[in-house]
């Protein structure tokens, strides 16, 4: 299975840590996962509209190539767009939050959506990946 990691570009280190945690797992299902997020290995896009548009289209292609999306906080405008795009594709979206008390309007809006799972730690993330793997 393939997955995409959505988060603020300022959280690139956190996204890399998550990917490394998944890749280093002894779990067979996790070891077979492949990340599609090319942005993790590329420099930030320039400020021009064309550069931002090219980056966005690449990110959407990467979501299309994924079976599910993991969204990490902090969120930015781009992350919100990726979350909405994921819901539009009908793919599962796993949202990792630090606590239930965080105020994120997107999460409040879609937390009851059938394709959205909210998790607070790695063990809960793994449970949701297993659930998705069974679909």
Residue 17 pLDDT > 80? yes
Q: How confident is the model at residue 111, as a pLDDT?
A: 64
E strand or H helix that includes residue 121: none
The C-alpha torsion from 83 through 125 and 7 to 115, rounded to 10°, is 0
Q: How confident is the model at residue 90, as a pLDDT?
A: 94
What is the C-alpha separation between 5 and 16, in angstroms, rounded?
A: 9
User: Sheet of 116-119: strands edge to edge?
Assistant: 34-35, 2-6, 68-72, 93-96, 116-119
Q: How confident is the model at residue 106, as a pLDDT?
A: 58
Predicted TM-score of the model (pTM): 0.90
Domains of the chain: 2-134 (3.40.50.450)
Q: How confident is the model at residue 74, as a pLDDT?
A: 76
Residue 100 pLDDT > 60? no
């Amino acid at each position: 299975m393939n997955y995409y990691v959505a988060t603020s570009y300022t959280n690139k280190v956190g996204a890399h840590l998550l990917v490394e945690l998944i890749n280093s797992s002894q779990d067979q299902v996790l070891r077979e996962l492949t990340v599609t997020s090319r942005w993790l290995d590329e420099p930030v896009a320039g400020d021009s509209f064309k550069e931002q548009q090219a980056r966005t289209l690449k990110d959407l292609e990467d979501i299309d190539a994924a079976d599910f999306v993991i969204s990490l906080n902090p969120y930015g405008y781009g992350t919100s767009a990726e979350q909405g795009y994921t819901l539009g594709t009908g793919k599962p979206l796993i949202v990792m939050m630090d606590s239930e008390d965080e105020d994120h309007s997107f999460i409040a809006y879609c937390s009851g959506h059938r394709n959205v799972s909210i998790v607070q730690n790695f063990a809960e993330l793994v449970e949701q990946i297993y659930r998705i793997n069974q679909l």
